[in-house]
Structure 1
Amino acid sequence: MEANLTLTFSLIIMLGIAAQWLAWRMHIPAIVLLLMAGFATGPVLGWLNPAQDFGQVLPPLIGLSVAIILFEGGLNLQWHEYKEAGVDVKRLVSLGLLLTWTLSTAAAHFIGGLSWPIATLFGAISVVTGPTVLMPLLKHARLQRHTAALLKWEGIINDPLGALLAILVFEYWTVWYWTIESPEHGLLTVLGNLSLSLLVATGSGIGLGYLLSWAFHREHVPEFLKSPVMLGAVLLLYVAVNGVQEEAGLLAVTVAGVVVANQRLRNIEELRRFKQYITLVLVSVVFIVLTANIELEVLANLDWRSLALLGTVIFLVRPLSVYLSTLGTGMKWQEKLLIAWIAPRGIVAASMAGLLAFPLTHQGFGGADQLLPLVFALIATTVILHGLTIEWLGRLLGLASRNPSGILIVGATPWSIELARLLKELGVPVIVNDTSWHHLRPARMSNLKIYRGQILSETAESSLELHEISHVLAVTANDAYNALVCTRFAPELGQNQVFQLPSLSASKQEDKTLARTVRGRIAFDESTQYEDFMRLYYHGWEFRKTQLTEAYTYQDYLQDHQQETLLIAVVTQHGQVMFYPLVDLDSLQTGDIVISFGPSDLENKSEKHRKIPNRN
């Protein structure tokens, strides 16, 4: 038995990670493949049967996993984002939540044919728009900061509130409604318990958040123990608050995450990365487990009324709730349209349905056996529809980058501004950053997008739009600062997407160079430093663009390439940018453009073969 459980758990983890990797390679939301993997290995092939394999361990395992996932979501919420989208978020998680619950309940009863107890519970679960789905989708879609903040805050706040609402509705129908003579009195009891739960969860979450921040600020916890201590404290908080009110622990851990995220801890990025790695594994495991736990016989219970209900919730209830709740907020119609469409349900909705459907069925509630398949059908439909359309719709509405291969150049020098001009001419989004208005003057005169200020500051994080940026090129005169910039952006963009100039010749002064673990990739070559670029530029060197054709291939270009010319980058025909040294030289194709830096009097043989088109 132990060997089988070990094999099953290992298989689930490997399937989850494989789905995440395949989704990355295919440029599609990972949650779609996770659902497919769980459904294929569970009800279709019968390889996994989580309810039987894990037994009574399954519910607490899911609960603890969801608690960690929500805490990690809270760690990603910044107050400056809330200030930007504050009124809109408040409306969406208050009036919008109430409207969604009411309209979904009515649709479930009158269209889906469910009894009022099951209809109200289905409506409560439908409120949840899971961050476990939204966060990967937002990262994939590269939406504008304000739009992404709206969806992120709504999803993370709605998750625990929706779970708490579902629990209270469940308790009302299963306990108070049958034990109290007056249902109205039972409703008052529910509202009282809801208020108590919100107070206890919020208070304990704030308390733990400040306690952790105080202990970390005062160095009462060593660096190597901060992440483990935080993880243990979150699990303890979840269990303790759940002892007061079931599932109120989800709200408590979310609040704790938000508090910790906004205490300006020096190592907050390291704490976030630790939680992100854990969350990625947990999301993969939980989604596969829950999907594999569905039975084909249960899905067969869905009929045309169920399909009509799902269509009503997705295409009518959500848009109407968003429209009514955001009236008078000043939200752009493009944002309203996108938010009205994007509402994928996730792990919390699935776990709530799995947790509550079983006791409802045993207590004899009519239609309780339809709750689980309806919720999972809603999850699958919204994940697939919204996951596959968020990027397309975001671009159509002008809320997402059309070319996510933009360059952030840190350091405004004459030659870096000239490179930025050429990249912009080729249709590549460019932002030039420097702390000096004087250094940025040539960039402003060239109509380049600039950011004047400290790129590592909190102000930059809250005000600079980076949804189009995929590469960072740090080219200041300060080698250590360049390395710090690359270290800051590497977790977000990827280690292979952050570049800096070489500090010193590794062959001559290896003992004075920065360690590879604390700097970005060396751009262009190992020997051309900041001083070299400045000297060569003032000696008349300039940037050139050379387009590859069938008659003039990359091999031809390399044969004509002079040793004194420095290869800079390749801009593909699809607008993607690759800086030298290239990882894959065989990937260059007809239509790609090679950017080089060389003497102005050097003849470029390729100019005889083509005229470079403008890509603006």
Structure 2
Amino acid sequence: MFPETATPTTTFVVAVLIATAAQMLANRFRFPPILLWLLAGMALGPFGLHLMHVESMEGALHTLIELGLAIILFEGGLSMNLKELRANGWVVGRMVIFGPLLTIAIGATTAQMMTGIDWPLALLFGALVSVGGPTVILPIIRQMRLGRNISHVLTAEAMLIDVVGAILAIVFLQVALTPEMSGMLIAEDILLKIVVGFFIGLAGGRLLAMLLSSSWAKDVEIRTILTLSSAWGVFLLSDSISEQAGLLAVLMMGAVLQRMEVHDIQRLKHFKGSLSMLLISVLFVLLAANMNLAVMHEYLYPGLIIFVILACYARPLTVLFSTMGSHLSTNESLYLAGMAPRGVVAAAITSLFVLILQESGNPQSELLMALVYIVIITSILIYSLLARPLKTMLSIDGGDERSVLIIGGGQIGAELGRALGEDREVRFLDLNAEVISSLKRSGYTAICGNALDPLYWEIIHAEEIGAVIVMTGSSDHNLLIARLANENYHTPEIYIALQEDAAEKHASLIHQLQARRLFAKPYNFTYWNDQAYRKRLLYEARTVELASPLIGEKMADVRIPHGVQPITIVRDGKTLIPHDNLKFEAGDEIKLLMRPERTEEGQALILPPSKPKKVE
């Protein structure tokens, strides 16, 4: 395909094209793209069909790996939910400590016994396979729709363990290169990397936040360039003081930046997420193309045995020690024990270190690379295939913990959210800045943005949402947003507010989306928000009595007078969302929003159907 003298530019562009095509196929058929990246790289590399010439990149690959790792970890810190990390901090902290220690001990011992690899390289192997895989686990979390506890523990662990594993790996690399290094020097080196990475990352994050909030960085282009260059600058500065301290520094910098009030940080997150995805995909293709398939085939059997021992002993023991006394259920702990894929950070660090070992003349460098890649590839295959059956077997789901997302609605959307918030977590996405500010002051997760922009779905973590309520002022927009929720995030429950005639006009689309009609009746967005703005609305609650003619009737069939709006229905202590197919039961408490004149004593607020039901 390309001549033997292919340039680094040619190789890089081919890798980008292959990575993009693989990403599109993976999205279309809904499986982790990392598998295609690896297979494509191995098939087209110098040890496969020889259509890609990674050797032409020489030192450029080393540079690309380092800069790519910096952006990947910075984006990870920027996306880290510190609130949830605090909630699960004790579990995550123990997993980040016990995980690498157990993996290094068990992995190194097994690798040395199975292959005879030197002990310094065996310890380095253990450190490398302790590095997690956020690039693999995050797509699994999105597709599986796991509960918040599992999702946030797995995400935080994957982000933090990358840094811990990388720091331990660089220490063992130095041991392999200089065997005479004493234990005291090793401890001092680890402490230095942590201190340098923490404080430079902290200072860099605060300084960048100040610059982004200043008048010097108003333009979006300047802000993105400033953020990118700052991340690389902090990485380089930390690495110049203590090698590989830059990994912790950029993660810390991203975490600090996302915690501070920075204008339009969502756009920065989106840009960094896109850049991170590009770098991840290209790195995987290039690294896979650089693998020696003959060596991998030679050590395939011991590599698989090592993976089985790590999966059956190291991971379960890590979870056992980490979750004892925690709020996680037994099934949640078992799921954590069965989910530990490795990803691009482990692969990239391995390739980087192998290049260093080869330069030093170490004869076992290719053996090390083969073992690590066998564990990475096997973990991706096994855990990707195991994720759904294990979830079903352990009855893992988000349950009542899954959030409700209310899109649009203005003041009425806020009132609906407050009513639902009595027993469910509610999040808001609206273009009304005044309403969003008010909700934020009340402690809600609220984002001001356009729901047709996928960026805001990422920001609000749409993969965790169990129900979406779409109630903007346009029926057409509501249907478009509902389609986005259905097709991109497979939201289990979708409720759409529709105006007059919209239900009949779009009946087939509503059926296709398996959506429900919010409030069961035509919803006049302008009227209700105008009444709310003028403070002309009152709350009223009515209970469905045992002898009520409403029992067994669908909301779509009952008559609701003008100026009365059912907001929620409380049944057996649970708050339900009113929709067209909801049937009334005895004891239901209907919460109503209405004009004051409708509260006159004895006035019926919900009436049974005017015509008798047909006998089927």
TM-score, normalized by the shorter chain, greater than 0.5? yes
Q: What residue number does 1:213 align with? A: 209
Equivalent-residue separation in structure 2 for 1:33 and 1:569 (angstroms):
44
> Once the 2 structures are TM-superposed, how far is the Cα of residue 187 of structure 1 from its aligned partner?
1.7
- Which runs of no fewer than 5 residues in structure 2 stay unpaired? 430-435, 447-459, 502-516, 529-552, 558-578, 582-608
Change (3 A) 1:502 1:267: farther
Deviations 1:247-274 (A, max 9, x none): 2211110110111111132312111111
Moved more, 132-141 or 299-308: 299-308
Deviations 1:335-387 (A, max 9, x none): 22122221111122112221222443564656433100101101100011112
Instruction: Tell me if the contact between 2:42 and 2:289 (Cα under 8 Å) persists in the aligned partners.
Output: yes
> Once the 2 structures are TM-superposed, how far is the Cα of residue 159 of structure 1 from its aligned partner?
0.7
Equivalent-residue separation in structure 2 for 1:37 and 1:334 (angstroms):
36
Change (3 A) 1:600 1:114: farther
Q: What residue number does 1:166 align with? A: 169
* Residue type of the alignment partner of 2:193: S
Q: What residue number does 1:314 align with? A: 311
Change (3 A) 1:216 1:287: same
Superposition map of 1:120-159 within 5 A: 120-159=123-162
SS across alignment from 1:300: helix
Q: What residue number does 1:108 align with? A: 111
Moved more, 147-156 or 338-347: 338-347
SS across alignment from 2:106: helix
> Once the 2 structures are TM-superposed, how far is the Cα of residue 122 of structure 1 from its aligned partner?
0.4
Q: What residue number does 2:183 align with? A: 187
Q: What residue number does 1:84 align with? A: 87
Instruction: Tell me if the contact between 1:501 and 1:529 (Cα under 8 Å) persists in the aligned partners.
Output: yes
Q: What residue number does 1:229 align with? A: 226
Instruction: Tell me if the contact between 1:28 and 1:388 (Cα under 8 Å) persists in the aligned partners.
Output: no
Q: What residue number does 2:556 align with? A: 543
> Once the 2 structures are TM-superposed, how far is the Cα of residue 246 of structure 1 from its aligned partner?
1.9
> Once the 2 structures are TM-superposed, how far is the Cα of residue 113 of structure 1 from its aligned partner?
2.8
Count of residues in correspondence between the two structures: 498
Deviations 1:513-565 (A, max 9, x none): xxxxxxxxxx99xxx7626998xxxxx99638xxxxxxxxxxxxxxxxxxxxx
Deviations 1:199-230 (A, max 9, x none): 01110001111111122233431131212210
Deviations 1:99-147 (A, max 9, x none): 2222222222234432211111101111101222222222222211221
Change (3 A) 1:308 1:112: farther
Instruction: Tell me if the contact between 1:64 and 1:235 (Cα under 8 Å) persists in the aligned partners.
Output: yes
Change (3 A) 1:7 1:228: same
Percent pairwise identity: 28
SS across alignment from 1:246: coil
Equivalent-residue separation in structure 1 for 2:18 and 2:580 (angstroms):
37
Deviations 1:544-590 (A, max 9, x none): 8xxxxxxxxxxxxxxxxxxxxxxx999xxxxxxxxxxxxxxxxxxxx
Equivalent-residue separation in structure 2 for 1:95 and 1:208 (angstroms):
29
Superposition map of 1:480-499 within 5 A: none
Deviations 1:75-100 (A, max 9, x none): 11122111110100110112332222
Change (3 A) 1:113 1:328: farther
Equivalent-residue separation in structure 1 for 2:273 and 2:329 (angstroms):
31
Moved more, 142-151 or 316-325: 316-325
Equivalent-residue separation in structure 1 for 2:176 and 2:52 (angstroms):
33
Give me the TM-score of the superposition, normalised by structure 1: 0.70
1:63 to 66, 70, 86: 66
Q: What residue number does 1:49 align with? A: 53
Equivalent-residue separation in structure 1 for 2:352 and 2:24 (angstroms):
30
Moved more, 199-208 or 218-227: 218-227
SS across alignment from 1:474: strand
Change (3 A) 1:217 1:119: same
Instruction: Tell me if the contact between 1:474 and 1:501 (Cα under 8 Å) persists in the aligned partners.
Output: yes
SS across alignment from 1:44: coil
* Residue type of the alignment partner of 2:469: L
Change (3 A) 1:333 1:403: closer
Is 1:530 equivalent to 2:512 in the alignment? no
- Which runs of no fewer than 5 residues in structure 1 stay unpaired? 417-430, 506-522, 535-539, 545-567, 571-598, 609-616
SS across alignment from 1:94: helix
Instruction: Tell me if the contact between 2:92 and 2:322 (Cα under 8 Å) persists in the aligned partners.
Output: no
Equivalent-residue separation in structure 2 for 1:70 and 1:200 (angstroms):
16
Equivalent-residue separation in structure 2 for 1:28 and 1:109 (angstroms):
34
SS across alignment from 2:80: coil
SS across alignment from 1:472: strand
Is 1:469 equivalent to 2:465 in the alignment? yes
SS across alignment from 1:102: helix
Equivalent-residue separation in structure 1 for 2:134 and 2:426 (angstroms):
33
1:328 to 314, 325, 345: 325
